[in-house]
């Protein structure tokens, strides 16, 4: 176990000499002359974790409710989707690769009858993106069967697999491993337990062994169970239906099925829902309970219409913009947000500064995270496929552009170039979070540290690279203040390098893949001069452009 050394401290803000305002063509470094189709990342923002949903509602169409709940949290994972339903006697699982709306149709949902269900949308963090790793996982042992869905990432997967005597290839993801551990515990329980609470007992034994981030929903034939790890990295809330209960990663999933949010499931809590109502248990030692909700949920991940720590997420993002305006003012004619997650903070910045708020970029709502480009000319269009400028609002103006984060910087650089081409006189970039310099090991896909521009460059160097007139990041204390959750615990490891749970140095997405080689070492930090001399070294080339099949 080890913690990486901290990066060179970065200034919170930086201004550069007035730009020449000239245009810089959007670039796709290192691709010139490459005749092969390539998959281009249009969205640099980190990939979400996963979304989970569970419902217990006699005489209700629980498969349809699960479908709606998953639909509301589709942004948390778009690789695969699945629903497991029980009618009290047996569990049926339907899952496949793709979006919720691709996997399920009326016919599929109509066949899933029962009174309790769980569902999952997946973004892979440990384990590759394949059907085998789609969730919920189903297991049957003797008289017991259960299904499991997981949001998060364990950091002791390899040790647990070794302890349990599993051979390489027996399980393919950390979620699969937990299902296997539960199955082993159930195998030790009497064939027909008198109280039908065998799954709860198995969880009370397995959960304390897990290290890392995990929010689970599970079910057997008669119970739905929701669990959060002792740090509560990823959110989960509990809602009441007229005739039942639901749990979900985010509260808008409760809203859409007509459930009233009662409360958040607490860090280290396990809630079990059955015919008798809801009961709460604590599988973890008291001293392990230490709330560390992912701060990025407030900044970017979570739907703006939800709540975290009892605070509205949209309002918190507006306050981040207000804090940013107070911390790093600039003279300008217009404040604009980068759609869509930069817009609430831009609204706050405008309100606090008194500078008019307006739209400068329009987002193509139907674009995915990637597209396939056959040649260099089309690759150069990448950012334009996602964002198109509103020339009337840009030409001849000094702009304050607000975004929530910068990951690799290449998309931001192309966006700034686009604004200058449209006649922006000045571009002052304001980011409503601190420099993002450390990878996440708890369930969010940022790639390696070498892919994060703030891990290698100072704020001043980033400003130069992006070709902005000034750049400022919101200080960490101000971000936390803006959440409105005073005194609450947060994970802020991707900004500070201070990881609440130690991570093994070799932890990677393919930790359980049988054909994996050694995890590639992070490239040494490049200097700015080297980057500009040889653009093939830019962070985007390290991982995010894959050969198309």
Q: How far is the CB of 385 from ligand SF4 (least distance, A)?
A: 26
When computed from its CA atoms, the radius of gyration of the chain, rounded to whole angstroms, is 24
Q: How far is the CB of 229 from ligand SF4 (least distance, A)?
A: 11
Q: Which of 12, 492, 503, 512 binds ligand SF4 (CB under 6 A)?
A: 492
Site for ligand SF4 in 232-261 (CB under 6 A): 233
How far apart are alpha carbons 402 and 388 in whole angstroms?
16
Nearer to ligand SF4, 295 or 414 (CB): 295
- Could you say whether residue 475 binds ligand SF4 (CB under 6 A)? no
CB of 302 to ligand SF4, least distance (A): 11
Using the minimum distance from each CB to ligand SF4, give the nearer residue, 353 or 433.
433
Position 493 contacts ligand SF4 (CB under 6 A): yes
Q: Closest Cα to residue 156, out of 233, 234, 210?
A: 210
Residues in Cβ contact with 532 at an 8 Å cutoff, skipping those fewer than 6 apart: 465
The one catalytic residue in 50, 294, 422, 491 is 50
Residues 291 and 298: their CA atoms lie apart, in Å, by: 15
- Concatenating the DSSP letter of every residue in 176-204 gives HHHHHHHHHHHHHS-SS-TTS-HHHHHHH
Give the nearer residue to ligand SF4 in terms of CB position, either 86 or 121. 121
Is residue 319 classed as helix, strand or coil in its secondary structure? helix
Q: How far apart are alpha carbons 403 and 463 in whole angstroms?
A: 14
Taking CB under 6 A as the criterion, the residue among 50, 296, 313, 416 binding ligand SF4 is 296
Q: How far is the CB of 10 from ligand SF4 (least distance, A)?
A: 17
> 177 phi and psi, to 5 degrees?
-65, -45
Of 152 and 389, which has the nearer Cβ to ligand SF4? Answer: 152
* Residues in 99-158 at the binding interface with ligand SF4, rule: CB under 6 A: none
Q: Which of 491, 507, 537, 538 binds ligand SF4 (CB under 6 A)?
A: 491
Cα–Cα distance, 69 to 67 (Å, whole number) = 5
Residue closer to ligand SF4, measured from CB, 153 or 175: 153
Q: Are the C-beta atoms of 394 and 422 separated by less than 8 Å?
A: yes
Residue 113 token pair? 């009858």
CB 425 within 8 A of CB 416: no
Q: Could you tell me the smallest distance in angstroms from the CB atom of residue 299 to ligand SF4?
A: 9
The least CB distance from residue 351 to ligand SF4, in Å, is: 27
Picking from 386, 301, 299, the residue whose alpha carbon sits closest to that of residue 348 is 299
Rounded Cα gap, residues 342 and 336, in angstroms: 8
Distance in Å, CB of 346 to ligand SF4, minimum: 22
**Within 206-235, which residues bind ligand SF4 (CB under 6 A)?**
233
Of residues 155 and 325, the one with the C-beta less far from ligand SF4: 155
Of 26 and 232, nearer to ligand SF4 (C-beta) is 232
Both tokens of residue 326?
């107070």
Nearest distance in Å: CB 441, ligand SF4: 7
Stretch that binds ligand SF4, among 91-99, 293-301, 405-413, 418-426 (CB under 6 A): 293-301
Nearer to ligand SF4, 141 or 440 (CB): 440
State how far the Cα of 19 lies from the Cα of 17, in Å rounded to an integer: 6
Q: Which residues between 46 and 75 bind ligand SF4 (CB under 6 A)? A: none
495 membership: H or E segment, kind and range: helix 493-496
Task: Kindly list the distances between the CA atom of residue 329 and the CA atoms of 262, 468, 471, in Å, as whole numbers in the listed order.
Answer: 40, 15, 11
We find the least distance from the C-beta atom of residue 46 to ligand SF4, in angstroms, to be 7
- Of residues 180-209, which lie at the interface with ligand SF4 (CB under 6 A)? none
Interatomic CA distance for residues 317 and 45, integer angstroms: 16
How many residues bind ligand SF4 (CB under 6 A)? The answer is 11
Q: Which stretch binds ligand SF4 (CB under 6 A): 69-77, 78-86, 265-273, 491-499?
A: 491-499
Backbone φ, ψ for residue 542 (5° rounding): -70, -30
- From 3-11, 374-382, 488-496, 508-516, span contacting ligand SF4 (CB under 6 A): 488-496
Which of 482, 491 has the CB closer to ligand SF4? Answer: 491
295 touching ligand SF4, by CB under 6 A = yes
Sequence-ordered list of residues with C-beta below 8 angstroms from that of 523, at least 6 positions apart, any chain: 450, 542
Q: Which residue has the tokens 């409503």?
A: 432
Using an 8 Å Cβ cutoff, are 226 and 217 in contact?
yes
Q: Which of residues 392-451 bind ligand SF4 (CB under 6 A)?
A: 440, 442, 444
Nearer to ligand SF4, 71 or 214 (CB): 214
DSSP-derived secondary structure for 2-55: B-PPPPPP--SEEE-SPP---------TT-TT--S-EEEE---SPB---EEEEE
Whether 494 is catalytic:
no
CB of 440 vs ligand SF4, minimal distance in Å: 3
Q: Please state the φ and ψ torsions of residue 262, each to the nearest 5 degrees.
A: -90, -45
Scored b (16 or more CB within 10 A) or e, 29-41 reads bebeeeeeebebb
Nearer to ligand SF4, 294 or 394 (CB): 294
Q: Provide the 8-state DSSP code for 349.
A: H
CB of 442 to ligand SF4, least distance (A): 4
Stretch that binds ligand SF4, among 154-162, 292-300, 360-368, 476-484 (CB under 6 A): 292-300
Residues that bind ligand SF4 (CB under 6 A): 233, 294-296, 440, 442, 444, 491-494
Residues annotated as catalytic are 50
């Amino acid at each position: 176990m080890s913690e990486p050394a901290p990066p060179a401290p970065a200034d919170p803000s930086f201004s550069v000499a007035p730009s020449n305002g000239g245009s810089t063509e959007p670039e796709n470094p290192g691709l010139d002359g490459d005749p092969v189709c390539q998959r281009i990342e249009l969205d640099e923002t980190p990939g979400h974790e996963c979304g989970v949903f569970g419902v217990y509602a006699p005489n209700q169409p629980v498969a349809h409710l699960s479908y709606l709940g998953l639909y509301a949290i589709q942004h948390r994972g778009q690789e695969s989707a699945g629903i497991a339903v029980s009618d009290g006697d047996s569990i049926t699982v339907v899952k496949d690769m793709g979006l919720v709306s691709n996997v399920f149709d009326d016919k599929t949902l109509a066949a899933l009858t029962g009174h309790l269900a769980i569902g999952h949308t997946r973004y892979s963090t440990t384990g590759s993106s394949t059907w085998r790793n789609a969730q919920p996982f189903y297991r049957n042992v003797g008289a017991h069967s259960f299904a499991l869905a997981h949001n998060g990432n364990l950091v002791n997967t390899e040790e647990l697999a070794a302890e349990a005597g599993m051979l390489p290839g027996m399980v393919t993801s950390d979620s699969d491993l937990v299902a296997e551990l539960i199955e082993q515990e159930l195998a030790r329980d009497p064939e027909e337990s008198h109280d039908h609470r065998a799954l709860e007992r198995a969880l009370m034994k397995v959960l304390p062994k897990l290290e890392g981030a995990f929010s689970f929903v599970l079910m057997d034939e008669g119970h739905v169970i929701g669990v959060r790890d002792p740090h509560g990295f990823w959110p989960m809330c509990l809602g009441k239906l007229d005739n039942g209960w639901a749990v979900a990663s985010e509260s808008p999933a409760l809203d859409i099925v007509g459930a009233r949010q009662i409360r958040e499931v607490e860090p280290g809590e396990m809630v079990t829902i059955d015919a008798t109502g809801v009961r709460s248990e604590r599988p973890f030692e008291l001293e392990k309970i230490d709330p560390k909700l992912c701060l990025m949920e407030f900044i970017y991940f979570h739907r703006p219409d939800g709540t975290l720590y009892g605070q509205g997420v949209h309002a918190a993002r507006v306050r981040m913009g207000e804090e940013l305006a107070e911390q790093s003012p600039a003279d300008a004619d217009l404040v604009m947000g980068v759609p869509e997650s930069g817009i609430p903070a831009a609204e706050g910045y405008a309100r606090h500064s008194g500078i008019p708020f307006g739209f400068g970029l329009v987002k193509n709502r139907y674009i995915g995270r990637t597209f396939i480009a056959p040649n260099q000319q089309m690759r150069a269009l990448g950012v334009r496929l996602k964002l198109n400028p509103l020339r009337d609002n840009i030409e001849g103006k000094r702009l304050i552009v607000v975004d929530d984060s910068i990951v690799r910087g290449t998309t931001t650089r192309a966006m700034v170039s686009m604004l200058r081409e449209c006649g922006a006189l000045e571009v002052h970039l304001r980011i409503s979070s601190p420099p993002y310099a450390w990878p996440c090991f708890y369930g969010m896909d940022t790639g390696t540290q070498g892919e994060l521009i703030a891990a290698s460059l100072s704020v001043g160097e980033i400003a130069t690279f992006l070709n902005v007139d000034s750049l400022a990041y919101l200080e960490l204390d101000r971000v936390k203040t803006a959440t409105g959750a005073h005194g609450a615990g947060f994970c802020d490891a991707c900004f500070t390098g201070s990881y609440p749970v130690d991570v093994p140095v070799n932890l990677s997405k393919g930790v359980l893949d049988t054909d994996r080689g050694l995890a590639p070492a992070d490239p040494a930090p490049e200097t700015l001069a080297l980057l500009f001399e040889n653009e093939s070294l830019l962070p985007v080339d390290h991982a995010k452009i894959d050969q198309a099949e």
